[in-house]
Structure 1
Amino acid sequence: MKIVKGEPLHPHSVKDARHGFLELLFYGQNRERPDFNRRMFDEDFARIFHHSDRHSGALFDITSSNYDLTERLLKSVVTRYGPHACDKTIREWAQEIARSLMWSGQAYFYRWDDPESDEFKIRSFGSSGVSRFLGATFQWVPRHTERHWDRDDEEKPRELRLLDKRRVMHFTLPKSLRRMLRTQNRTLATIDRHQYEATHFQPQATHENPNPTTYFDFMVWRDNQDRVFYRSTRQTGWNGRKYDGAKRSDFFDCHRQIRFRRNQLVLRDGILNQIRSELTRVGREYDGDYVVDIAPTAALPKIDQLDDLESRLKREEAGFTEVIDFCLKR
């Protein structure tokens, strides 16, 4: 094993990786694949911006001590659909961070310098095999094959890469969401694991009895599963994309939608605060007094607006349509 100082490797660039016991210590949790409900929740919860936000004018109020440096930093961020103007870059960057946080609980970006110019790029390098200890960031790279088109392939040994902390940008889930999601995900994993076990209670047809009678009540099984599901998602407010429940009242659905959207805004605001903090830290390498602040404009919903909406709903001053329009269209 080699211990080196260097730039991070993206997991997709490591071909034919060979995982052993040591790799399980670094990759075990990150390589876990979520099942149906967990995967669906991750997709829904990470959607912190709605499609209508793309046409709502400026989404962020950017205040900076050096606007030229702020524009330079944001233009260097490599996003999935970039490059864009600063406002759209922040939106896509925050959305990309949200998806990574829901997948692994961490998001890492690195500032790569261009040796031929004075420019640099900030791009994600994946959280697999990455850990932090006493402020230092390490990346574990397993044994792998490095392929070349102009010469023979090389077999690379294990590496523990010590990354330059000045260039690493690290994002985490807000503390208020971390325990909530951990508890919910354990229950959703159990529901997914036993989702189709009711079929085991269906008697098998035989030649002598081609239409066997079953005394197992599948409706009771379904109701119990729904009850466990809604209890497990009570804190997050997620409805599992179930919009036609006859047993649920409009009042129940409204409170759920408000709670779910509020948690999404907690995630959004937490990511924006971390973007502000990381940009300020990186920017001070170029300007020692650099400060930047990023806040959502009136085009985006605010947590206090949801609190007011929930209060009016309790007083029967807000209706179902108003709540759904606010939570699903803003």
Structure 2
Amino acid sequence: MIIFGGEPLFRHYNQDVNLKLIDRLILKTEGGFDFNLQMFNEDFTLLFRSVDRRGGNLFDIESNDNALLQVLLGNVRALYSEHTIDSTICELVKDIAKSLIWSGRAYYFVKKDIDNGKVYVVPLSSVGVFQLLGKYIQWIPERLERHWNKDDEELPREIRILETTQIMRFDLPKSMKRLLSAQNKILSVIDQYRHAGINFLPHATYENPSPTNFFDFGAWNNIQEHIFYRATQETGWNGRQYDSSKRSDFFDCFRLIRFRRNQLKLRDHILHQVSSELTKIGKIYKPDFFVEISGSDDLLSIAELNELESRLENEEVGFSEIIDYCYKR
């Protein structure tokens, strides 16, 4: 085992990692999501709609040093090509949201390039990163490093002590963490038994090649659907089921508003944390630096959704208007 201070290891692949018991106790390894969980994570992290990019400023930005802010935001490394401030913040917020929904936490490392004097904000996997006695620690298990021009190299376990001032940390709100945890436990069970009904099909035999089926698949599906909607009641997610004779238009609209409201709560929470973390990093270069980033009037707000819900309760708005309002803003 090697213990040292320095930069984190940004990428190491699970298939090249030899996990021992102590590693499994510390690491939360990445795993695939089931059917409903995967869909929910994809839908919930769509915090910005395509119409948001059509014009105007998406964010109100207040800072006492715009040049320093440009340096920090201008070198955010992410998987997109646009480099306007709006697009950078959009993609940064979406990337953070994806990590938060999966693990409840997101990390970025502020890397200083001594050669060109630039500052880079680099995403850091939350796997193996934790805080101990005020220090950020990255636990890296034994792994195999592959080379194309020489033999593969077996590397020992490492514990890297990271510089606290270079870490940007983002957390999922506790209330939302509890809400998602309660929902996803039930969705996981639904996914596990999603096709269990086929186990009740009678088996054909030589004597009875076409056995009578007494199992009521309609009742089975109704029970699953009922459990699904109870599980997603607080988030408002509809499971991409856009048409059903069993649901009323009021039901769909109220849940759509609730779902968008939860998305906006996450969006605004992330924007607040981005402001706080950028301010913390900026103070390294300018002690009185601050930045505050919030959604502009071009973005849908929680207040607008609350008003829309009130109008729906008073039957002052049509269903099509609600759907257009929620999906286009």
Instruction: Report the TM-score, using the length of structure 1 for normalisation.
Output: 0.96
From the superposition, tell whether residues 14 and 31 of structure 1 become closer, same or farther in structure 2 (CA, over 3 Å): closer
The answer (yes or no) to whether the contact 1:79–1:93 under 8 Å persists in 2 is: yes
Q: CA deviation at 1:64?
A: 0.4
Q: Distance in 2 between matches of 1:30 and 1:63?
A: 39
Per-residue CA distance 1:151-174 (angstroms, 9 max, x = gap):
554321111111111111111112
- Matches of residues 223-234 of structure 1 in structure 2 within 5 Å? 223-234=222-233
Instruction: Name the SS for the 1:18 alignment partner.
Output: coil
Instruction: Name the SS for the 2:208 alignment partner.
Output: coil
Percent of residue pairs identical: 47
**Structure 1 equivalent of residue 286 of structure 2:** 287
Which segment is superposed worse, 277-286 or 51-60? 51-60
**Alignment of 1:61 onto 2:81:** no
Instruction: Name the SS for the 1:282 alignment partner.
Output: helix
**Structure 1 equivalent of residue 165 of structure 2:** 166
Per-residue CA distance 1:10-36 (angstroms, 9 max, x = gap):
234677211111111122x44232211
- Matches of residues 151-190 of structure 1 in structure 2 within 5 Å? 152-190=151-189
Q: CA deviation at 1:212?
A: 0.8
From the superposition, tell whether residues 50 and 158 of structure 1 become closer, same or farther in structure 2 (CA, over 3 Å): same
Q: CA deviation at 1:150?
A: 5.7
From the superposition, tell whether residues 57 and 12 of structure 1 become closer, same or farther in structure 2 (CA, over 3 Å): farther
**Structure 1 equivalent of residue 2 of structure 2:** 2
- Matches of residues 24-39 of structure 1 in structure 2 within 5 Å? 24-27=24-27, 29-39=28-38
- Matches of residues 132-281 of structure 1 in structure 2 within 5 Å? 132-148=131-147, 152-281=151-280
Q: Distance in 2 between matches of 1:13 and 1:33?
A: 15
Q: CA deviation at 1:82?
A: 3.3
Q: Distance in 2 between matches of 1:214 and 1:193?
A: 23
Q: CA deviation at 1:136?
A: 1.8
Instruction: Name the SS for the 2:322 alignment partner.
Output: helix
Q: Distance in 2 between matches of 1:130 and 1:68?
A: 31
Instruction: Report the TM-score, using the length of structure 2 for normalisation.
Output: 0.96
Q: Distance in 1 between matches of 2:273 and 2:237?
A: 25
Amino acid in the other structure paired with 1:92: E
The number of residues matched between the two structures is 329
Per-residue CA distance 1:167-194 (angstroms, 9 max, x = gap):
1111111222110001101000010111
The answer (yes or no) to whether the contact 1:36–1:192 under 8 Å persists in 2 is: yes
Which segment is superposed worse, 45-54 or 274-283? 45-54
Which segment is superposed worse, 144-153 or 244-253? 144-153
Which segment is superposed worse, 257-266 or 175-184? 175-184
Unaligned runs of 5+ in 2: none
The answer (yes or no) to whether the contact 1:26–1:128 under 8 Å persists in 2 is: no
Per-residue CA distance 1:100-149 (angstroms, 9 max, x = gap):
11122111110111121211211112111111223321111011123445
Instruction: Name the SS for the 1:307 alignment partner.
Output: helix
Q: Distance in 2 between matches of 1:247 and 1:14?
A: 44
The answer (yes or no) to whether the contact 1:130–1:137 under 8 Å persists in 2 is: yes
- Matches of residues 28-107 of structure 1 in structure 2 within 5 Å? 29-107=28-106
Which segment is superposed worse, 104-113 or 308-317? 104-113
The answer (yes or no) to whether the contact 1:11–1:128 under 8 Å persists in 2 is: no
Q: Distance in 2 between matches of 1:147 and 1:14?
A: 13
Amino acid in the other structure paired with 1:66: D
Q: Distance in 1 between matches of 2:285 and 2:9?
A: 25
Q: Distance in 1 between matches of 2:43 and 2:8?
A: 30
Unaligned runs of 5+ in 1: none
The answer (yes or no) to whether the contact 2:71–2:119 under 8 Å persists in 1 is: no
Q: CA deviation at 1:251?
A: 0.2
The answer (yes or no) to whether the contact 2:107–2:124 under 8 Å persists in 1 is: yes
**Alignment of 1:22 onto 2:22:** yes
Over aligned residues, Cα RMSD in angstroms? 1.5
The answer (yes or no) to whether the contact 2:60–2:295 under 8 Å persists in 1 is: yes
The answer (yes or no) to whether the contact 1:14–1:145 under 8 Å persists in 2 is: no
Per-residue CA distance 1:42-68 (angstroms, 9 max, x = gap):
000011111111213210011100010
Q: Distance in 2 between matches of 1:112 and 1:269?
A: 26
The answer (yes or no) to whether the contact 1:280–1:291 under 8 Å persists in 2 is: yes
Instruction: Name the SS for the 1:11 alignment partner.
Output: coil
From the superposition, tell whether residues 198 and 15 of structure 1 become closer, same or farther in structure 2 (CA, over 3 Å): closer
